[in-house]
Amino acid sequence: MLGLPALYAIVDPLDTRRPPAALAAALLAGGARLLQLRLKPAISRELLAAAEAIRPLAHAAGALFLVNDRPDIAHAVEADGVHLGQEDLPVAAARRILGRGRIVGVSTHDVDQARAAATAGADYVAVGPIYATTSKANPLRPRGLELVRAVRAAVPCPIVAIGGITAETAPLVCA
Domains and CATH numbers, the chain: 8-174 (3.20.20.70)
Q: Distance of CA 88 to CAs 43, 148, 174, 175, Å?
A: 16, 22, 28, 31
Given 55, 107, 135, 152, which residue is catalytic? 107
| 40 among known catalytic residues | no
CA distances from 8 to 46, 119, 138 (A): 23, 23, 23
Residue of 141, 101, 153, 139 lying closest to 123 (CA atoms): 101
Ramachandran sector of residue 117 (left: φ over 0; alpha: ψ -120 to 50; beta: rest): alpha
Q: Which residues pair with 105 in a beta bridge?
A: 83, 124
pLDDT tens digit sequence for 39-64 = 988 999 999 999 999 999 999 999 99
- Virtual torsion, Cα 106, 110, 111, 116, nearest 10 deg: -40
The string of pLDDT tens digits covering residues 116-157 is 999 999 999 999 999 987 766 666 788 889 999 999 999 999
On whether the CB atoms of residues 78 and 56 are closer than 8 A, the answer is no
Digit-coded pLDDT (tens) for 65-91: 999 999 999 999 999 999 999 999 999
Among 38, 55, 102, 143, which one carries the catalytic annotation? 38
Band of residue 23 on the pLDDT scale cut at 50, 70, 90: very high
Q: Give the H or E element holding residue 81.
A: strand 81-84
Strand 81-84: give its sheet, edge to edge: 8-11, 34-37, 64-68, 81-84, 103-108, 124-127, 159-161
Residue 98 DSSP one-character state: H
* Mean pLDDT, residues 15-40 taken together: 93
Q: Is the pTM of this model over 0.85?
A: yes
**Catalytic annotation present for 135:** no
Q: Is residue 166 very low, low, confident or very high in pLDDT (cuts 50, 70, 90)?
A: confident
Q: Which of 18, 40, 136, 149 is catalytic?
A: 136
Q: What pLDDT was estimated at residue 136?
A: 64
Q: How confident is the model at residue 100 (pLDDT cuts 50, 70, 90)?
A: confident
136 is catalytic: yes
Q: Of 17-21, 97-101, 132-136, 168-172, which range is least confident?
A: 132-136
Q: Is the model's pLDDT at 164 over the cut of 90? A: no
